[in-house]
Amino acid sequence: MTTQVALITGASSGIGAEVARKLKAKGYTVYGVARRADRLADLDKDGVRTFEMDVTDDASITAGVKRVLAESGRIDVLVNSAGYGLLGSVEETSVDDGRHMFEVNVFGAMRLTQLVVPHMREQRSGRIVNVSSIGGKIYSSLTAYYNGSKHALEVMSDCLRIELGQFGIDVVVVEPGGVRTEWPEIAAAHVEKNSGQGPYAHQARAVAEGLRLSETGSRLYVPAGVVADAIVKAATTRKPKTRYPVGYGAKAIITLRRLLSDRAYDSMALRASRGSRT
């Protein structure tokens, strides 16, 4: 039986690193890549093949895919896990910063997909798992750029699923809620930097406080391994679902958004973002 080959982006920590380890344990040949190669040393020790890849650099992406194919001859699973959260009001957030986040969260994933699809199509099989967020289905104060990037990833994944199904290639979206990784603290720092001192300061304070609940062990935030399990299931099950919401309340929140009118959801989101004005 041919050994399956997986390529995981954003593998330097958190969800991506956990996925790489779990797929390796299932017998896959796993390539874990990230922008900072120095943070991949632990995966090397676990038998994951690692190298530097910057998903915003086309030369880096192209060289990385060529390397995997040269060494292993195939790519069966692509997990687009690289991403970060840029939070802040639209008024105060630099468009250049927003553009860079779209380059990482959306266009990097799409360019990698472009590069692996010809090989998957030739072998008449493959699985592309895009790590989105419940933010791809909802909206809230000070999340326009981040949630916008995840909305884009969701609909582009839907289009890909229709395009690629005829070639035996599945496209699956995983939608985490709150996860205990580096992400919440980085996102909290962003929202404070962008909107912590101006007219949206009370909202920024409320958002940052909510994000930092991840540090207290709040049940609102699940360990990275829980999300990794969902991604591994999406990558390996014979007939995957199109979407896997995962984490505390993820399904309920997405369902609530679908059931509520825009105005009713607006009212709920506004109440959640008021925070303390003192």
Backbone dihedral angles phi then psi of residue 261, each to the nearest 5 degrees: -70, 165
Strand residues in the chain grouped as ranges (E): 5-8, 29-34, 49-52, 77-80, 126-131, 169-176, 178-180, 221-223, 243-246
Helix (H/G/I), strand (E/B), else coil: 14 = helix
Active site residue 31: no
The answer to whether the CB of 86 falls within 8 A of the CB of 147 is no
Amino acid at site 142: L
Helix (H/G/I), strand (E/B), else coil: 266 = helix
Q: What torsion do the CA atoms of 170, 138, 257, 217 make, to the nearest 10 degrees?
A: 90
Distance of CA 91 to the CA centre of its chain: 25
CA-only gyration radius of the chain, Å:
19
Q: Which of 28, 31, 145, 146 is catalytic?
A: 146
The answer to whether the CB of 47 falls within 8 A of the CB of 65 is no
Residues with active-site annotation? 146
